[in-house]
Amino acid sequence: MNATDALANLGSTLEELDSRLSNVETGVKEAHEEITASNATSATHSTLTVTGPTSTNVVEGYTHEKLQDVIDLTDAGHSPMLVGASGSGKTTITKQVATALGLKYYYTGAILEASVLLGYNGPDGSLAVRTLLREAWEHGGLFAFDEVDDSAPEALIPFNAMLGGMDEASFPDGMIKRHADFHAIASGNTYGKGADRIYVGRTQLDGTFTDRFAVVDIDYDEALETNLAPNDVWTKQVQNWRHSMDELGIRHIISPRASIAGGDMIDRGKERAQAAEWFVWKGLDPQQVDKIKAHSSARAMRAA
């Protein structure tokens, strides 16, 4: 084969590759348009109105697909435990439940000592520190206990007793009656059975504690993610990487925070590769990054 024929063959090959790439891009665009249209019906900027016996409350904005379930459980007096990956929207759900039910919102994270929940007395024997749990218990409100599976199990014993239907609870300054509008929601990354290969710092919680809750799985709501993130093309890429990561069984977290924060920085002029390093890969082994990218590209080609 002479040089002229070789160049002709090379040109033909490049044209074929360009045509295939164009088809892939078209397929990805069409798939994205279909997903966007689907998302418009599944996660819309609507108004959620909750009518109670004495008031009507409105939750405005995008909401997770499980929000109504959590509202219903909480309103019925069954304390939910929201279990989901980092960035799945658990904390936002608890805030929206408080709004929906017209409750004051109290929040705490993981604890190591019971005094963080109960408070403690001063040298004179009077109560020196009132806690958020005390405020919610005595005066009503929604107590959101986040990262509960990162807490010391022994520190949860008083809270465990409070969820058992008690009308009174023991605080350092005496027995305090439970307010009729006290509600509690716990949330964590695990089911309280101990650490796993991603959430290695989580503790095993006592079975009597977890038995107090109605467990609600909070998955990534990609319709909600697409509506919240500022850059649709970037969000679709992040979601494709996430699916490939899961299908490959690679231990890593690619949460909607990557779509939201990464999209924000791209819209501010940063390169996608830089956004990916900051918010998606975060030090993941380069070989695993390459595997995810290759798998994601293959998925896109199959979709085309």
Rounded to the nearest 10 degrees, what angle do helices 232-248 and 286-303 cross at? 110
Number of other residues whose CB lies within 10 A of the CB of residue 87: 17
Give the type of residue at 260: I
Please check whether the domain covering 46-217 is classified as CATH 2.30.30.100: no
* Residue 125: other Cβ atoms inside 10 A: 9
For 52, list phi and psi in degrees, rounded to 5.
-105, -175
Contact, 235 vs 229, CB < 8 A? yes
DSSP 202-221: PPBPPHHHHTTSEEEE----
Where would I find the H helices in 43-89?
67-75
Q: Determine contact, residues 232/36, Cβ cutoff 8 Å.
A: yes
CA 118, 120, 121, 122: dihedral to nearest 10 degrees? -150
- pTM tops 0.85: no
The tens place of each residue's pLDDT in the chain, 304 residues long, gives: 555 555 456 455 545 545 554 454 444 444 444 444 444 444 445 667 877 666 788 888 889 999 999 999 999 999 999 999 999 999 999 999 999 999 999 999 999 999 999 998 888 777 778 999 999 999 999 999 999 999 999 999 999 989 988 899 999 989 999 999 999 999 999 999 998 888 988 999 999 999 999 999 999 999 999 999 999 999 999 999 999 999 999 999 999 999 999 999 999 999 999 999 999 999 999 999 999 999 999 988 887 6
**Which residues fall within 8 angstroms of residue 275, CB to CB, at 6 or more apart?**
234, 262, 263, 265, 266
Query: How far is the C-alpha of 162 from the C-alpha of 174, rounded, in Å?
Result: 14
Q: Give dist(CA 28, CA 45) in Å, integer.
A: 25
* CA–CA dist 69, 216 (Å, integer): 8
Does residue 132 contact residue 173 with C-beta atoms inside 8 Å? no
- What is the token pair recorded at 52? 């109670």
86 contact partners, CB below 8 Å, separation of at least 6? 189, 253, 255, 257
The CA R_g of the chain, rounded to the nearest whole Å, is: 25
Decide the pairing of beta strands 214-217 and 182-188: unpaired
Gap between the Cα atoms of 38 and 165, Å rounded: 42
Instruction: Show the tokens assigned to 127.
Output: 């109560």
